[in-house]
Amino acid sequence: MAEINPPAWMQAGSYPARTDRLILSALLSYPGFAVDEPTPTRIRQGIKPSYQNYQLKARAAPTPNMTVIVSAGFCFIDNHDSGGLGTYVCVNDADRTLTVQPAGGAGQYRRDCVVASVYDAETAGSVSEWRLEVIQGAYAASAGAAVRPSLPPNCALIADLTIGPSQTSVAAGQIFDARNFSVAAGGILPVSSTIAPPRLHPGQTLYLTNLDKMVYGKLDGTTADLVPKATAWAPITMSGAWVANGATGDSPPSARITHDGTLELSGMARGVAINAGANAAFGTLPASLIPLISYWVRGVAATSVAQDYVRVAVDPSSGAIAFVNGSVAIGTGAWIQLDGVRGRAS
């Protein structure tokens, strides 16, 4: 097929429900997976995100039994009976209690699935409705061998349920959230980095829920952090007699890369004597923090009440840190303050 005519809402036009469904598809976000690219009218189907992602969430009954409760919410489900048939909006406006089939006997384990399913007699079968339902899995000899059952072609997965032998209730520990979320085109998609779509359209933005950071799609098909975060402080491996100063309130020598790509040092240390104009090896950066360029920056050194600047050099080939050409001699046990020492990392 090519152009779909007439376009929706044309005066005196007559068109099928599919055209309205395709309008919904046009407003929803790009799926971002290679498998969907041969069908360009596909969307990323899933649940509408909300505060704490409570929409269409499966939970145990207040007194656990062989039921699960699915909360109210919106769901967007693509028609997969054939390509380009558009998107259904499915709405549940109250808690819905679903029955889970009785457990098997000794040695029988299974995995059931809670799903939101669309059945459309226009494209398959004889029923035209959507429903929340539990699809029962096949029995297996162990919990690890139990797999998801075959699911309806037009459905959104909500939760996995693990059912053991002679189990008489489904508690919270047997319910595993499996929802994907969907947003409008241009919206920020909340998704775990472990299942994030890898083929984003340029500018498509994801909030990686498990990493607490945002990434966006680039023109070359890669992704980048939208707002880079500083790395965690990592300890500097000390050289020779250099040790952390150890006084109350002093932090040990450490380093990190800040959100703007700057190498930042911190902490207090003490160690060997350094003559004025002399050099001294101090320590080594963690491999992940070694900068791409070398530079000299200044830190504060002090012996008793006399203090002056020392120059801090970082070797990009090894990550070695050295004190270079200080202007004042530093005695044994004098302290070096690294807080505020910053330089470009790339």
Strands (E), 164-259: 175-177, 189-191, 205-208, 213-217, 223-225, 234-235, 237-238, 243-244, 254-257
Contacts of 195 (CB under 8 A, 6+ apart): 180
Model pTM? 0.72
Q: Comparing C-alpha atoms, which of 214, 187, 183, 218 is closest to residue 202?
A: 218
Asked if the model's pLDDT at residue 275 lies above 90, the reply is: no
CB atoms within 10 A of CB 140: 16
pLDDT, tens digit (0-9, with 9 covering 90-100), for 46-66: 999 999 999 999 999 999 999
- Averaged pLDDT of the chain: 89
Residue that wins the pLDDT comparison between 295 and 142:
142
pLDDT, tens digit (0-9, with 9 covering 90-100), for 123-167: 888 999 999 999 999 999 999 999 999 999 999 999 999 999 999
CA–CA distance, 130 with 88 (Å, rounded to integer): 9
What pLDDT, on the 0 to 100 scale, is given for residue 291? 81
Tokens of 147: 């797999």
Can you name the residues that pair with 257 across neighbouring β-strands? 263
What pLDDT, on the 0 to 100 scale, is given for residue 296? 55
Tokens of 69: 């409760």
What pLDDT, on the 0 to 100 scale, is given for residue 119? 95
The fraction of the chain above a pLDDT of 90, given in percent, is 59
